[in-house]
A and B are shown apart, each in its own frame.
Chain A
Amino acid sequence: MASSATTVAFPRVRLRLRPFRLAELLMLAFFGVAMGLPLLFLLTGSFNLSPPGREVVYGFGNWVRAFSDPAALSALWMSFILSLVRLLPAMVLSVLFAWLIARTDMPGGKVIESFCWIAYFVPDFPMVLAWVLLLDPNFGFLNTAAKSLPFVDGAPFNPYSFWGIVWVHTATGGIWFKVMLLTPIFRRLGASLEEAARVSGAGTATTLRRITLPVLSPMILAISVLSFIRGLQSFNTELLLGTPAGIYVYSTKIYDYIQREPAAYGEATALGAVFLLVLAILLFAYWKLLSGKRKFTVVTGQGYSTARVKLGKWKYPAFGGCAAYIVVMMLLPLLFLVIGSFMRRYGFFGIDAPFTLAHWQRLFADPIFLVSLKNSLIIATVTAVGGILLYSTVAYMLVSRRTIAAPALESFCWLPHILPGILLGLGVLWLFLSTPLRHVLYGTVWGIAFALILSDSPVTTQAFKAGLLQLGADLEEAARVSGASWWYTYRRILLPLLGPMAAAVGLMNFGSALTSISTPVLLYSHQSRPLSILLLEYSFTGELERGAALGLLITVIICAMMFVARKLGLELSGSR
C-alpha cells in the first residue's frame, strides 16, 4: 500500500514542479523586458545622441546640453526645496491628527479618520483645478471676495507661485496619506507604555513628549523620508501651477523637453538619469533606516488599549480644529468644483442667469469625451485585471519559497517604487520606440495599460504577498492533504479567501489608472487619449468650467469605487 503510494507520488511531484519553473522563467523574462529594459534605456539613453529607434550614436552631448541649461539644474533644486518645505507642516499636522484620532478621547475621531480616508482617494488633479477656481488672481473666488474688502488692494492670493504650490500640495496630498499611515501606528502602541508613565507621575503633555513621540520617532522619521521621496515624484500640481509662473521641477522639465519640437529625448533622459540616482540613494537610506538596529520592539500585553488620553476642556476645540481643516482643505474646493461646473462663466456671479447645465451637456455630447471615456475604461480594466493576474502569480511564487529567482523578482517588483510616473513613462517610451513593440504598443491604449500595470507592481505584489502570508501554507496544504488537486485548492480555498482582497486591489488600481496623468502623458496619442489627459487639455486651454465638470465626474467615480473597495474590507493603511 505504502510503496504503491510513493511510486505514484514521485512522478507527480516532478510534473508539478516543471510548470512552476517554466512560469518562473517566463515571469523573469517578462519583467526583464518590461522593467529592466526601460530602466536600462533611462540610464544609457542619455548617452545616445540620436532619438529613440534610430541608429545609436554615443556621446556626452545630452549631458552637456541639459546641464548647461540653468533651468534644468534649478528644476532639480526646486524639486527638493518644494518637497522639503511642505514636509514639515504636513508632518506636524498629521502626527497631531493621528494622535488625536488614535490616542485621545476626542469626539468624532472615527469621522475625522473616514474623511482623511476619502480625501486621500479624491484624485489630486481635479482638486488642483478647484484651487485654481478659488485662488486665481483674476477670477478666483477667494480673491474676488478679498478684493471687496475695503483694506485689501489687488489679489492677495496667487496659486501660480512657490507658496501657492506648497499650499495646494498641503491641501491635496499633504496630510491625508500620512494620517492613514500614522493612525494605526499610534493605535498599535501598547497603551501600557503611556500608562506606566502616568502612574510614574507624568502628566498628559509630559507623557506625549517623553514617551509616545520618542517611542514612535523611528516610524515617524521613516514616514517623513517616504513622504519626501513621494513629494519628489509629484507632477500634476507643478505642471498646472508651476508652468504658468515659470517654476519647473525636474518632472515638468522632462515633460517640457519631450513636448519640444523636435522632442529633446536626450536631455530629458539625462535629467531623468540624474534624478534616478538621487532617488536610489534616498531609498537606500530609507531602507537602512527601516532595517536599522534601533528598531523598537514593543512587547504588548493583553489588549488593554481602551484607555485614552483625556483632553478635558480641549476635547471640542480639538475636534473643531480637525473638522475646520477638513472643511477648508477638502470640502471647500470640492464645493467650488461643483459650482464651477454649473456656472456659465466661472467667477461672474453678477451676470444674468449665472448658472447653467450647458457645460455638462456639452461634455457628454463631445465625441472626444466619449472616445476618451472608452479609452479610460479599457485602460483601467486591463490594468486592474492584468495587475491582479500578474502580481498574484508573482506573489504566490515569492511566498511559496520554491522559486530560485526570488531576489530578482522581488527587486523588479520594487523598481516602480523608485520610478516616478514621468520617468516610468519615459523609460517605457524608449522601450516602445527602440523595439518592435513600437508597432503593437506605441500610442495605443494597450501601451498605456502596460505602463500602468508596471507602476502598480509594488503595492499590488505586497498586498497579495501579505494576503498569502496571512493565509499561511497550512490552509493550502491541508486542502492538498485532504485530496484536493492544485486547481481545486486554488478555486475552493485560495480564491474565496483572497477574492475580496484581490477585488479591492483591482478597484484601487482601476481608480489610479483612471486618474494617472504623469505615466500616460508621454505615451498617449490622439486615438488613445484617456480622460485624465483630456482633463489636462481642458485646463491648459482654459476651459475651466468643462474641466470642473469632468474633474467632478472623475472624482465621483473614484469615490464610489473606493467605497466599494472599503466595503470589501481591504485595510489599505500601510500597504502603500
Chain B
Amino acid sequence: MAKSVLEFLEVTKRYGDFTAVDRMSFTLCEGEFFTLLGPSGCGKTTTLRLVAGLEEPDAGEILLNGVPIASPKRGLFVPPDKRQMGMVFQSYAIWPHMTVFENVAFPLRVRRETAAEIKRRVLQVLETVGLAGLEARGATEVSGGQQQRIALARALVYTPAILLLDEPLSNLDAKLREQMRFELRALQRKLKLTILYVTHDQTEAMTLSDRIAVVNRGRFEQVGPPFDVYEKPATSFAGEFLGRTVMFEGTIKSNHAGRCVELVEGSGRLFLDQGQAGRFAGGEAVRILTRPEDIEILPVGELSQNDIPAKIEEVAYLGDHFEYHVHAGGHSFVLSATKRERHSVGAEVRLRFDPARLNTHPR
C-alpha cells in the first residue's frame, strides 16, 4: 500500500457531556479518496475539523506524514495555518470583499510568494477548475457552482498535503452536483490528490471514494471499499445508511443439508454458504442482513432450500417497476420487482434468497 499521509489515532473530541468523536482511528494513504459517510451530528465534520486544526482533540494523536500535529498528552497542537491543508467548506467561505483572483491568491500571498509566481499559479489552478477568464470578477457575483470551484481552486493552489472537503456539493442543485462529482473524481486522479471527504450522500460516497467509513455517534461502524461496504454491511446501521437492507433474526441449526438459520416464530429457514456457516456454533442467535434487490419474488409453489413463504400486503405501481410490501419471517419490508410478473394484494408468494449475499452476524 502507498505511504500513509495522515494517521488518526484513538482521537476523542467532547463538547461538554457530548462526545462528538469517540476514540476514532484511521489512516489515510497518499493519493487516496477517503470518505466519512454518516447522518448529521454523527461527528464526521468534527473529524474533518480536527484534521484541519479548527478543533483541538481531547485525547488521542493526529500525525501528518509521521509527525504529530495534535497530541493533547504531549501538549502539542499545530494551529491550522501551519498544517498545509486545503479545505473546501460547505458554505464555500468565499471572501466577499475580494475578487476571484484574490480569493485564490490568498494562500500564496500569506506564504509570501512573488507576484509573478502568484499570478502563474492562480491562473493555472483557475484553468484546472474551469474558471479561466473569471479572475477579475467579484467573488460573490458568480454562481453557486462557480463559487464552489473558487473554493476548490483556493484549496488546491498551493498543493496541500491533504484536501479536506466538507459536504462541498450539498449546496448545489442536482444536475450540477452530478457534474461536479465527476469533475472532482477526474481532478483527484489527474493531480493524485489525497482527499478526506465528508458527506451524508451515499451516491457521492459510492461513486467518489476509494474507501468509505460509515460514521455513527462518533465511531466507525464500518470501513472499506464501496463494494465491500455495500455488499457486506457489518452492522444494520451501515447497511441501512448505504442503500436499503432487509433484516431477519434467528438461530443457527444443523440438519442433513448443512447449517441453516431457523427464523423466529418458525416462519422459515435460510441456508448459509460454507464460508459463513463455519463461523457459528449450533444454537447461536444471529441476525441476517441482505439487500432487497437480492431477493426474488416467486409465485406460490414448493419451497426449495432458500425459499421462505411470504404474503403480499400492499402493491404500488411506479411505472417502471412494482413495489411490494411483503410480510415474511416475522417482518414487513419493501421489495421491488419487474413488471413481468404481477402479484395481487393478499397473494401467497415465495421469497428466494441468494446464500452468497446473506450477511450473518451474531446478535
Q: Would A299 and B79 count as touching, CB distance under 8 A?
A: no
Q: Would A297 and B140 count as touching, CB distance under 8 A?
A: yes
Question: A197's closest neighbor in chain B, by CB?
Answer: B106
Report the bound CA distance from A270 to B54 in whole Å: 60
Contacting residue for B106 out of A192, A203, A210, A299, CB 8 A: A210
Q: How far is the CB of B3 from chain A (nearest CB, A)?
A: 23
**A482 an interface residue at 8 Å Cβ cutoff?**
no
Q: Would A299 and B95 count as touching, CB distance under 8 A?
A: no
Q: Would B110 and A200 count as touching, CB distance under 8 A?
A: yes
Q: Would A202 and B79 count as touching, CB distance under 8 A?
A: no
Q: How far is the CB of B265 from chain A (nearest CB, A)?
A: 45
Q: Would B90 and A302 count as touching, CB distance under 8 A?
A: yes
**B45 an interface residue at 8 Å Cβ cutoff?**
yes
**A292 an interface residue at 8 Å Cβ cutoff?**
no
Known pairs A195-B80, A196-B87, A297-B140; A206 contacts B110 (CB<8 A) = yes
Q: How far is the CB of A120 from chain B (nearest CB, A)?
A: 29
**A199 an interface residue at 8 Å Cβ cutoff?**
yes
Report the bound CA distance from A200 to B122 in whole Å: 14
| Binding stretch for chain B, among A125-133, A211-219, A339-347, A438-446 | A211-219
B residues within 8 A CB of A215?
95-97
Report the bound CA distance from A190 to B107 in whole Å: 19
**B158 an interface residue at 8 Å Cβ cutoff?**
yes
**A367 an interface residue at 8 Å Cβ cutoff?**
no
Contacting residue for A198 out of B53, B98, B151, B154, CB 8 A: B53
Scan residues 43-98 of chain B and give those whose CB is less than 8 A from a CB of chain A. Answer: 45, 49, 52-55, 79-87, 89-98
Q: Would A214 and B110 count as touching, CB distance under 8 A?
A: no
Contacting residue for A297 out of B53, B54, B96, CB 8 A: B96
B residues within 8 A CB of A302?
45, 90-91
Q: Would B110 and A196 count as touching, CB distance under 8 A?
A: no
**A304 an interface residue at 8 Å Cβ cutoff?**
yes
Question: A196's closest neighbor in chain B, by CB?
Answer: B93
Q: How far is the CB of B51 from chain A (nearest CB, A)?
A: 10
Scan residues 173-215 of chain A and give those whose CB is less than 8 A from a CB of chain B. Answer: 190, 192-193, 195-203, 206, 210-211, 214-215
**A145 an interface residue at 8 Å Cβ cutoff?**
no
Q: Would B96 and A200 count as touching, CB distance under 8 A?
A: no
Name, among A195, A206, A211, A306, the residue most crowded by chain B CB atoms within 10 Å (CB to CB).
A195
Report the bound CA distance from A348 to B115 in whole Å: 69
Question: B55's closest neighbor in chain A, by CB?
Answer: A307
Q: Would B106 and A199 count as touching, CB distance under 8 A?
A: no
**B111 an interface residue at 8 Å Cβ cutoff?**
yes
A residues within 8 A CB of B82?
201
**A301 an interface residue at 8 Å Cβ cutoff?**
yes
Question: A300's closest neighbor in chain B, by CB?
Answer: B91
A residues within 8 A CB of B84?
201
**A5 an interface residue at 8 Å Cβ cutoff?**
no
Instruction: Tell me how many residues of B have a C-beta within 8 Å of chain A.
Output: 38
Known pairs A200-B110, A201-B81, A201-B111; A195 contacts B93 (CB<8 A) = yes
Question: A206's closest neighbor in chain B, by CB?
Answer: B110
Contacting residue for B110 out of A192, A201, A217, A298, CB 8 A: A201
Q: Would A192 and B97 count as touching, CB distance under 8 A?
A: no
Q: Would A190 and B81 count as touching, CB distance under 8 A?
A: no
**A349 an interface residue at 8 Å Cβ cutoff?**
no
Contacting residue for B97 out of A203, A296, A299, CB 8 A: A296
Contacting residue for A196 out of B49, B79, B111, B154, CB 8 A: B154
Q: Would B96 and A199 count as touching, CB distance under 8 A?
A: no
Name, among A200, A201, A299, A307, the residue most crowded by chain B CB atoms within 10 Å (CB to CB).
A200
Instruction: Tell me how many residues of A have a C-beta within 8 Å of chain B.
Output: 29
Q: How far is the CB of B205 from chain A (nearest CB, A)?
A: 19
Q: How far is the CB of A195 from chain B (nearest CB, A)?
A: 5
Scan residues 162-204 of chain B and give those whose CB is less than 8 A from a CB of chain A. Answer: 164, 171
B102-124, CB under 8 A of A: which get 1 and which 0?
Answer: 00001100110000000000000
Report the bound CA distance from A383 to B26 in whole Å: 67
Q: How far is the CB of A295 from chain B (nearest CB, A)?
A: 9
Q: How far is the CB of B292 from chain A (nearest CB, A)?
A: 32
Known pairs A202-B110, A206-B110, A297-B96; A190 contacts B91 (CB<8 A) = yes
Q: Would A199 and B140 count as touching, CB distance under 8 A?
A: no
A residues within 8 A CB of B91?
190, 192, 299-302
Q: How far is the CB of B50 from chain A (nearest CB, A)?
A: 11
Q: Would B85 and A298 count as touching, CB distance under 8 A?
A: no
Report the bound CA distance from A230 to B151 in whole Å: 41
B residues within 8 A CB of A201?
81-82, 84, 107, 110-111, 158
Q: How far is the CB of A297 from chain B (nearest CB, A)?
A: 6
Name, among B53, B80, B92, B164, the residue most crowded by chain A CB atoms within 10 Å (CB to CB).
B80
Question: A216's closest neighbor in chain B, by CB?
Answer: B97
Q: How far is the CB of A309 from chain B (nearest CB, A)?
A: 11
Q: Would A198 and B89 count as touching, CB distance under 8 A?
A: no
Contacting residue for A200 out of B15, B79, B81, B94, CB 8 A: B81
Contacting residue for B93 out of A190, A217, A306, CB 8 A: A190
B residues within 8 A CB of A296?
96-97, 140
Report the bound CA distance from A302 to B44 in whole Å: 13
Name, among A206, A296, A301, the residue most crowded by chain B CB atoms within 10 Å (CB to CB).
A301
Report the bound CA distance from A138 to B167 in whole Å: 69
Contacting residue for A199 out of B52, B90, B95, B111, CB 8 A: B52
Q: How far is the CB of B267 from chain A (nearest CB, A)?
A: 45
Q: Would B107 and A200 count as touching, CB distance under 8 A?
A: yes
Q: Would A304 and B45 count as touching, CB distance under 8 A?
A: yes
A residues within 8 A CB of B90?
192, 301-302
Known pairs A198-B81, A199-B87, A297-B140; A307 contacts B96 (CB<8 A) = no
Question: A297's closest neighbor in chain B, by CB?
Answer: B140
Question: A214's closest neighbor in chain B, by CB?
Answer: B97
A residues within 8 A CB of B140?
296-297, 299
Question: A190's closest neighbor in chain B, by CB?
Answer: B91
Question: B98's closest neighbor in chain A, by CB?
Answer: A214
Known pairs A192-B89, A296-B140, A301-B91; A199 contacts B97 (CB<8 A) = no
B residues within 8 A CB of A193?
93, 95
Q: How far is the CB of B71 from chain A (nearest CB, A)?
A: 17
Q: Would B97 and A301 count as touching, CB distance under 8 A?
A: no
B residues within 8 A CB of A192?
89-91, 93
Q: Would B54 and A299 count as touching, CB distance under 8 A?
A: no
B202-240, CB under 8 A of A: which get 1 and which 0?
Answer: 000000000000000000000000000000000000000
A70-101, CB under 8 A of B: which get 1 and which 0?
Answer: 00000000000000000000000000000000
B residues within 8 A CB of A300?
91
B residues within 8 A CB of A297?
96, 140
A residues within 8 A CB of B53?
198-199
Report the bound CA distance from A283 to B278 in whole Å: 84
Report the bound CA distance from A203 to B171 in whole Å: 29
Known pairs A195-B80, A215-B95, A217-B97; A200 contacts B106 (CB<8 A) = yes
Q: How far is the CB of A292 from chain B (nearest CB, A)?
A: 13
Question: B91's closest neighbor in chain A, by CB?
Answer: A301
Q: How far is the CB of B138 from chain A (nearest CB, A)?
A: 9
Report the bound CA distance from A198 to B87 in whole Å: 10
A residues within 8 A CB of B49?
304, 307
A residues within 8 A CB of B83?
199
B residues within 8 A CB of A210?
106, 110
Known pairs A214-B97, A215-B97, A217-B97; A199 contacts B54 (CB<8 A) = yes
Question: A306's closest neighbor in chain B, by CB?
Answer: B15
Q: Would B110 and A199 count as touching, CB distance under 8 A?
A: no
A residues within 8 A CB of B106?
197, 200, 202, 210
Besides the known contacts A190-B93, A192-B90, 10 further A-B residue pairs in the complex with CB atoms under 8 A apart: A198-B81, A199-B53, A200-B81, A201-B111, A202-B81, A202-B106, A210-B110, A215-B95, A297-B96, A299-B91
- Interchain Cβ contacts under 8 Å between A and B, 27 examples: A192-B89, A192-B91, A195-B87, A196-B89, A196-B95, A196-B151, A197-B95, A197-B106, A198-B79, A199-B81, A200-B81, A200-B106, A200-B107, A201-B82, A201-B84, A201-B110, A203-B79, A206-B110, A210-B106, A210-B110, A214-B98, A296-B97, A296-B140, A297-B96, A299-B147, A301-B89, A301-B171
